[in-house]
Structure formats: structure tokens, C-alpha cells
Copies of this chain bind each other. A is one copy, B any other.
Amino acid sequence: MSDSSETVSAKDTEEVIMEATFRALSKHGYTDLRMRDIGEEMDLTRQVIHYHFDGKYDLMSSFLEYVIEQYEGSVQVDEETDPRSELDARIDQCLFGPEFEEFTHWDRMKVYHELYTYAQNDGEHREIFDDHYERIRGSIVEVVEDGIEQGQFRSVDAERMGQLITDVIHAARGRRISLGHEDAPEETRRAIDEFILDSLHS
């Protein structure tokens, strides 16, 4: 009986809970999230959550890591190309999401952004997010540095430039999510091209 579709292990259940938490969070928002809401999003009863996680706070902490892992795991950029192409690819991926999950991307980002804001009131969560942000920013900075070394970009402060790009991306996503500006990512993509990346060449 090694039929994998029938064998439900503990890890599987935790994954089920994570996905149920994601759906519940999408529907109700962080502030109004009840354990009951999560239970209603899965076939198991809400009490199993207490078997696998040590209360609501522990659940949210685990979910936070789950969301970030998913985010970082979904980033896939062809590193064989030149710095400018890679930079473009990374920006596109941050603004529009990976192609293979176009439809869930903004649902995931909405939850991600809400968690991000709430993290300001919780030292542990804040640290997790800070580390994550640093990795995203670092990957952008790296590309800029490569571009400068290879002479494709003019010599600028790569840290500052990378930070600026990361911030702009973040703001555009936040604006789309919080204010419903659906064209924010596209408009921002153009603005980055015209006003920021343009000054990297010449």
C-alpha cells in the first residue's frame, strides 16, 4: 500500500492546514481571522490544528515562514543572460509574479502584505520579514553590481540603486493590493524603465 494518494502523513496535514489558513486569511483578513474560519476551509475539524501547532500564535508564525518560503521558492530567473536582462526578469517577477501561478499570485501577495504590516507589532515576525526583505533586496543589488562590473551600467551606488528598485516594487504591489489600483504594476514597470533604469546606462 505505497499508494501515495491514500497515505496521509503528519506533514500532509500540516500542509493542508497551511493552505486552509491561506484561504481563510484571504477571505477574512488578518484582523478578523478566527481559528474556526481555518477549520471551515479544510475537511478536517479545526481542533486538529491544536494537535499540530501550539496555539494560534504558533500557527501564524509557522504560516509566515510558509508564505515566505513559497515566495522565495517561486523565484526562478535564468542567470545565463546579461545583467540588464536579468534585472528586467527579476523586476517583472516581483511585479507580475511567476508565470505558472498567475491566478493565485495576487491572492498570495495580499496575504503576504497584510502579514508584513502586522509584523511591525511583533518582534519575532518582524525579524523573519527583515531577513526575507534583505534577501530580495540583495538579489537585486547583486545584479546591479554585476552590470557595473561588466560595464553595462554606469558606476552608481549599487546598494542604493537596488534599495530604490526594491522599494518601488514594494510600493506598487501595496498600492494595487490596498487601494485596488490594478494598473499599478504595469505603470510602475514603465516608470522604472523610463526614470530609473534609463539613468543606469548612458
- The distance from the CB of A34 to the nearest CB of chain B, in whole angstroms, is 12
Interface residue SS majority, chain A: helix
- Contact present for B187 and A163 (CB under 8 Å): yes
- Contact present for A129 and B179 (CB under 8 Å): yes
**A75 at the A/B interface (Cβ < 8 Å)?**
no
- The distance from the CB of A166 to the nearest CB of chain B, in whole angstroms, is 8
Copies of this chain, complex-wide, total 2
- The distance from the CB of A177 to the nearest CB of chain B, in whole angstroms, is 6
**A175 at the A/B interface (Cβ < 8 Å)?**
yes
Given A117-B113, A120-B110, A171-B171, A163-B178 contact (CB < 8 Å) = no
> A164-B188, A174-B174 known; 5 other A-B pairs, CB under 8 Å?
A28-B121, A114-B117, A116-B178, A164-B191, A167-B171
The 5 closest A-B pairs by CB, nearest first: A167-B171, A29-B121, A117-B117, A171-B171, A164-B191
